[in-house]
A and B are shown apart, each in its own frame.
Chain A
Amino acid sequence: MILTSFRPSVRRWEATINNFDRMRHEMEHLVDSIAGGTSGHLLGTFPATNITQTPDCFHIRTELPGVKISDLEISTVDRKVAVQGRRDVEPEENGVSYHRRERKPVEFNRNIELPSEFDREKVEASLTNGVLTITLPRVEAAKPRTIQVSN
């Protein structure tokens, strides 16, 4: 079940610095609560991902509540990072009455292309409080440089 795969250009990425996806999640949640629960996350972009940069590196941060490290796989090729995994929820049991069932099991596969090259040997990833952080140092040649103008 592949949910999203995006490779937009950098310019478009920068143009979408807004809260649309989060709003969409909220809308789906609202629609779900009226409709009696369909598949909220499956309709949107899951998992929600932010990407930031500094002159030295890129940071990818992804919200993955309830995902265990053992159910997560990160791979890189060229300028791309793939984050794949699975989020399980507890199966329904007999003799239990459910008042809310909004959390969904989901399989995800996101492909992220970064605007410049990074050192694939030095990529680090950590999962803290349900947020995955991937740090990708830029290669020397891809670091921004200031050019002195001589007169």
Chain B
Amino acid sequence: MANEMTHAIQGGNSVEVGDQFEQTRPGPFFTPAVDIFEKDEAITLLADMPGVKSDDLEIDLRENILTLNGRCESFEVEGETDVVREYETGTYHRRFTLSDTIDQDKIEAKLVDGVLRLELPKSEETRPRQIPVMSE
């Protein structure tokens, strides 16, 4: 279930990568819901990762492949027994390619209320520019 279908977005700048991803940690893997939107100066990614602490979140960007891994520890303590179980804890995993050049030094990540907000500023060269046309 964690492996997701690959589909390119028409005209978009981020493409989901067909995941040749091997699990190295025990426990289930989940696909977090994401929003990705793009403005002239930056790409913003929001991902729902309830239960993940900032220490347990890995964000990796290399060669334009962005990988998110958020490990969620169970809140339960020893001695608790199940009455109802609707969800499991495990690792949220997702991977994208970004075709625009990202200014890697200026990436900002925030994790608030279980939602990751990743700001990926575009490097100067890749920002759209208005070319003024001179009229005679």
Number of chain B residues whose Cβ lies closer than 8 Å to a Cβ of chain A: 42
Taking a contact as CB atoms under 8 Å apart, the answer to whether A129 and B85 are in contact is no
Taking a contact as CB atoms under 8 Å apart, the answer to whether A63 and B113 are in contact is no
User: Size band of the A side of the interface?
Assistant: 35 or more
Taking a contact as CB atoms under 8 Å apart, the answer to whether B38 and A14 are in contact is no
**What residues on A are CB-neighbors of B31 within 8 Å?**
26, 29
Taking a contact as CB atoms under 8 Å apart, the answer to whether B86 and A22 are in contact is yes
Q: How far apart are B109's CB and chain A's nearest CB, in angstroms?
A: 14
Contact with A along B96-107 (1 / 0, CB 8 A): 000000000000
Asked if A18 is at the interface of the complex by the 8 Å CB criterion, the answer is yes
Partner of A29, one of B33, B36, B113, B115: B33
Given contacts A40-B33, A97-B38, contact A22 B13 (CB under 8 A): no
Interface SS majority for chain A: mixed
Asked if A79 is at the interface of the complex by the 8 Å CB criterion, the answer is no
Given contacts A14-B83, A102-B35, contact A22 B88 (CB under 8 A): yes
Give A129 to B33 CA distance when docked, in angstroms.
16
Taking a contact as CB atoms under 8 Å apart, the answer to whether A103 and B75 are in contact is no
- Within A44-95, the residues touching B (CB, 8 Å) are 45, 48-54, 58-59, 61, 63-68, 89-90, 95
Taking a contact as CB atoms under 8 Å apart, the answer to whether A97 and B37 are in contact is yes
Kindly list 9 other residue pairs between chains A and B, CB separation below 8 angstroms, not including A48-B86, A100-B9, A129-B51. A16-B85, A50-B84, A61-B75, A64-B113, A64-B114, A90-B35, A99-B12, A102-B35, A103-B46
* Interface of B toward A, CB cutoff 8 Å: 1, 4-5, 7, 9, 12-14, 28, 30-31, 33-40, 46, 48-53, 75-76, 79-88, 111, 113-115
